[in-house]
């Protein structure tokens, strides 16, 4: 029986229910994190929980938690569900209250919900590469917050599905921002380019790991904007996130990227990523 975390308590899946008027359900008024588990341990926990606390702060949500208390909660969930390799989803909403756009005054207890998933690493896709399509970025202007408002992301991902692609890479007026649930990169002449950290993209933890790897390996990592044409003419296209790690895109809008195989820089990043799995799990 899988256990779900509801307001600090582990309950059986069937008993994991949320009130009908929870603001997460009504307004998407909440934030979340998705964290990877490798060999029973949590990967880059500090970075993820710091980002969760930042997201909460950015939406004016007061939560009675620290990086340490959140780490403990997630560890309990991982142990209860015997997750060896997989991931943990954790979300916090502004709580249940009569429907009103204004924040409840006085504030109500936030609703915390977490569940886990077991699955292995995506080695086959890492070796073979994946496909993507480009699409307009129609999301709001605070994409830096990992919020529950994912309608733009959902529509982008469904657009990819319609064209039998694995991911949708979004652009604003031709400038590439990021994937529907991933950060995006173009490699040209040995240099990695990716959108700078601002309100147009989510500051991915895997993106941060990529920047560490580039530092280790002496690969130039340029946080500069580029357009869809540049992406299409890149030697390699990469997407990253917590669940797919570092993935080469070998087909973009139906056309081959580079020589149509996962490129050398992508492979170099994938190899070095293992070092961080070994050193950044707690």
Ligand X SMILES: *Cc1c(COP(=O)(O)O)cnc(C)c1O
Give yes or no for residue 178 binding ligand X (CB under 6 A): yes
Cβ-Cβ contacts under 8 Å for 271 (sequence gap 6 or more): none
Active site residue 3: no
CB 240 within 8 A of CB 195: no
Least distance from C-beta 44 to ligand X, angstroms? 8
Give yes or no for residue 182 binding ligand X (CB under 6 A): yes
- H or E segment at 216? helix 205-217
Of 93, 111, 242, 270, the one binding ligand X by CB under 6 A: 242
Least distance from C-beta 206 to ligand X, angstroms? 3
CB 111 within 8 A of CB 247: no
Residue 18: beta bridge partners?
none
Q: 89 or 103: whose CB is closer to ligand X? A: 89
Of 42, 53, 88, 205, the one binding ligand X by CB under 6 A: 205
Least distance from C-beta 210 to ligand X, angstroms? 9
Q: Read out DSSP for 90-122?
A: EEEES-B-SS-SSPPSSPPPPEEEEEEEE----
Cβ-Cβ contacts under 8 Å for 227 (sequence gap 6 or more): 171, 174, 175, 176
Of 241, 249, 250, 252, the one binding ligand X by CB under 6 A: 241
Least distance from C-beta 182 to ligand X, angstroms? 5
Give yes or no for residue 181 binding ligand X (CB under 6 A): yes
Give yes or no for residue 202 binding ligand X (CB under 6 A): yes
Give yes or no for residue 93 binding ligand X (CB under 6 A): no
Give yes or no for residue 204 binding ligand X (CB under 6 A): yes
Q: Read out DSSP for 192-247?
A: EEE--SSTTS---HHHHHHHHHHHHHT--EEE---BHHHHHT-SEEEEEETTTEEE
Angle made by CA atoms 33, 36, 37, in degrees to the nearest 5 = 135
Q: 202 or 250: whose CB is closer to ligand X? A: 202
State the number of binding residues for ligand X (CB under 6 A). 15
- H or E segment at 11? strand 9-12
Give yes or no for residue 170 binding ligand X (CB under 6 A): no
**36: DSSP letter:** E
> CA gyration radius for the chain?
19
Least distance from C-beta 205 to ligand X, angstroms? 4
- Considering 146, 188, 222, 267, which one is annotated as catalytic? 146
Q: 209 or 250: whose CB is closer to ligand X? A: 209
- Which pairing describes strands 167-172 and 130-136: parallel, antiparallel, or unpaired? parallel
Least distance from C-beta 56 to ligand X, angstroms? 15
Taking CB under 6 A as the binding criterion, the range among 91-99, 176-184, 246-254, 272-280 that sits at the site for ligand X is 176-184
Active-site residue set = 146
| Binding positions for ligand X, rule: CB under 6 A | 34, 146, 153, 178, 181-183, 202, 204-207, 240-242
């Amino acid at each position: 029986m899988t256990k779900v975390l509801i307001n600090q308590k582990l309950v059986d899946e069937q008993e994991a229910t949320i009130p009908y008027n929870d603001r997460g359900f009504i307004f998407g008024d909440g934030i979340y994190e998705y964290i990877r588990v490798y060999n029973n341990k949590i990967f880059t926990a500090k970075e993820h929980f710091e980002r969760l606390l930042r997201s909460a702060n950015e939406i004016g949500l007061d939560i009675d938690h620290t990086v340490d208390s959140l780490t403990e909660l997630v560890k309990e969930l991982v142990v209860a569900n015997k997750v060896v390799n997989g991931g943990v989803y954790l979300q916090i909403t502004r709580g249940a209250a009569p429907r009103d756009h204004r924040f409840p005054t006085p504030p109500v207890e936030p609703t915390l919900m977490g569940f886990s998933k077991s699955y292995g690493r995506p080695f086959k896709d890492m070796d073979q590469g994946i496909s993507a399509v480009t699409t307009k970025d129609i999301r709001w202007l605070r994409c830096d917050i990992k919020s529950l408002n994912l309608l733009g992301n959902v529509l982008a991902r469904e657009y990819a599905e319609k064209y039998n692609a694995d991911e949708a890479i979004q652009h604003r007026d031709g400038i590439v921002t990021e994937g529907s649930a991933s950060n995006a990169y173009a490699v040209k002449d040995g240099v990695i380019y990716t959108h700078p950290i601002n309100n147009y993209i989510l500051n991915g933890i895997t993106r941060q790991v990529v920047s560490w790897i580039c530092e280790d390996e002496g690969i130039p990592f340029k946080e500069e904007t580029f357009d869809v044409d540049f992406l299409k003419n890149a030697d390699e296209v990469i997407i990253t996130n917590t669940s797919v790690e570092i993935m080469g895109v070998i087909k973009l809008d139906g056309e081959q990227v580079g020589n149509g195989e996962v490129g050398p820089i992508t492979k170099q990043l994938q190899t070095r990523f293992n070092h961080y799995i070994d050193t950044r799990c707690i």
